[in-house]
Structure 1
Amino acid sequence: MRHISSIYEKGSRPMNEDRVVLHEEADRYAVVDGATGIDGIPGELAASVLAQNMEQPPGEVELLSIVKVANETLGRKNVREYGGDASIADVPKEARSTCGIAAIQLNEDRTLSYVQTGDCMIFVQYKDGSIRALTYDHVAQFDDIALKRLEETRERASGGQLLNDAIFEQEIKPILLDNRRKLNTKEGYPILDGSEEALDFLDWGTLPLLNVDRLLLLSDGLQLPDGKGDGEIWMETARYAFTYGLEALRDRVHQMEEEDSDCLKYPRFKKADDKSGVLISL
């Protein structure tokens, strides 16, 4: 018998920009991670649009089509929020409300349809215990550029220096702006932002559920904080979730965040990110 567990929790900032979709009637599940534009439109807009579209009745629309329509809706809402310009192309990339998504549809023919973009992840565990990352985090390498600059800035300051508004504006914000302006290009990373280009960079497909035991969807807020920088932290996170469960993973992340409340040991931009996850036992 199928068992589904989930985590949905706000981080250290006032607004939760994650969403979780548990549409059991349609066998459709997703985690959505909204991202606020830099001095722009809140990420909650994008996350809400994608999550609402995922709630469509079963059997009427394919998963990929749902995401495409949701992206079109997001484009119109970004334009409206920015000031009624003619098209999404008139809204600067850095101002747009955007989101990553990891969505799956369990089909009657024992296949799995999936759509992913951004830094939300999908993992598959087989009956022999082996784990497969079905998706790739394209965002991490760009976050690392800004985090390395943050570390360098702290090292230059005597006794270490916490992130403050001045450091952000002078050292970090220009990097974040540069990263944002590369959205949905071959030099950047994929994300849903309401543009046609976003659809060109979706990771989507179908997987036969042969000997599959469990499925895992995670937003990056449930990723174990990474102090090693070895690129394997996502797989370590998935192994932890499959071994101990989502609640235990959440508690472990909490513990690491509390032990490093100044974000020095595990460099990050905020003490705690929004957290969303779905674990499905088939």
Structure 2
Amino acid sequence: MNKPKYYCFSDKKYNEDAYSFSSSHIMVLDGATGLSKKNYMSEDDAMWFVQMLKKEIEMHIKDPFSLSKIIDNAITEIQNLYSDIDSMDSIDLPNACISLFRFKEDKLEYFGLGDSVGIIQMKDGSIESFEDKKIDELDQSVIQHMISLSKEKQIPFLQTREEIEIKEHLIRNRKLSNQYYYILDPSKKGISHALIKEWNLKDIDRICCMSDGFSQILMYPGYSDIKQILDAIETNEPIEKQLYQYQEMDADCILYPRLKKRDDTTYIYLNFGL
């Protein structure tokens, strides 16, 4: 097995993505702060939440339990640090999407929640990718609302994020978490809805986990399918720089409408080799 290739960057003060790997796993976590922007546990609760998850999962990834149980136990530890979690509104809680592969004996296991992407290529060349597309559908509904409002009020597209109609739309979508779509948060409600899969390790060629901030590369020319992305990472092409160049050229999000110019950007890639 080769050493993983990875990348993790944020141009914000706090990176709310995290990645992790060992001889037993690779993982990407993508955090989000509560929409009220209140922070209870640190200067940035989303960063705190993903770092706590990362720490707990790393400590127990080799335990003889299912991935669901390991993550359940991790959130139990996090819950113990909150004093009044039951009284908190769901939109005030930090949350995270996760893409996690574990190598256990002769099996490859997967646990995924949210729009962090998991990708697997088999030795026969077939490729599967895993993510919850419901989150993107909800985001697209907001984007279309922003486009309409921009035209109606004759204001720049990104400026519509400050309009009350868009803020309310985002709150409505966030309140659908762990009801219409499922993620990790301190309530544990999403865990039982995770995508869980398993393969024979001998059949695997390569795997990759990425946050949605990186998987956005699929909307730009030159990377129209997942295999192109895997090949680019494998050959050390500066794919993340190309992503940033596209985003800088369209900083106002006009050509490729999106909720913000750039999100935290993370991937981890592993070629099993021979």
Q: Is 1:244 matched with 2:238? A: no
Structure 1 unmatched runs, 5+: none
Distance 2:60 2:188 in 1: 25
Distance 1:210 1:262 in 2: 46
Give TM-score, length-normalised by structure 2.
0.86
Once the two structures are aligned, what percentage of the paired residues are identical?
Answer: 24
Aligned partner of 1:196 in structure 2 is: 188
The structure-2 alpha-carbon separation of the partners of 1:146 and 1:131, relative to structure 1 and needing over 3 Å to count, comes to same
Decide whether the 8 Å contact of 2:218 with 2:224 is kept in 1.
no
The match for 1:36 among 14, 33, 38 is 33
Decide whether the 8 Å contact of 1:20 with 1:32 is kept in 2.
yes
Distance 1:157 1:100 in 2: 34
AA aligned opposite 2:15: N
Aligned partner of 2:269 in structure 1 is: 279
Aligned partner of 1:218 in structure 2 is: 210
The structure-2 alpha-carbon separation of the partners of 1:253 and 1:177, relative to structure 1 and needing over 3 Å to count, comes to same
Distance 1:173 1:239 in 2: 36
Structure 2 unmatched runs, 5+: 40-44
Matches within 5 A, 1:100-139: 100-109=97-106, 111-139=107-135
CA RMSD of aligned residues (A): 2.3
Q: Is 1:257 matched with 2:247? A: yes
Distance 1:225 1:263 in 2: 14
Decide whether the 8 Å contact of 1:116 with 1:204 is kept in 2.
yes
Distance 2:191 2:35 in 1: 22
Distance 1:167 1:21 in 2: 33
Secondary structure at the aligned position of 2:242 is classed as helix
Decide whether the 8 Å contact of 1:115 with 1:204 is kept in 2.
yes
Distance 2:161 2:29 in 1: 30
Structure 1 residue 227: Cα displacement: 5.5
Distance 2:163 2:153 in 1: 16
The structure-2 alpha-carbon separation of the partners of 1:115 and 1:9, relative to structure 1 and needing over 3 Å to count, comes to same
Q: Is 1:65 matched with 2:64? A: no
Distance 1:69 1:247 in 2: 39
Structure 1 residue 209: Cα displacement: 2.8
Aligned partner of 1:266 in structure 2 is: 256
Structure 1 residue 226: Cα displacement: 6.2
Distance 1:260 1:243 in 2: 25
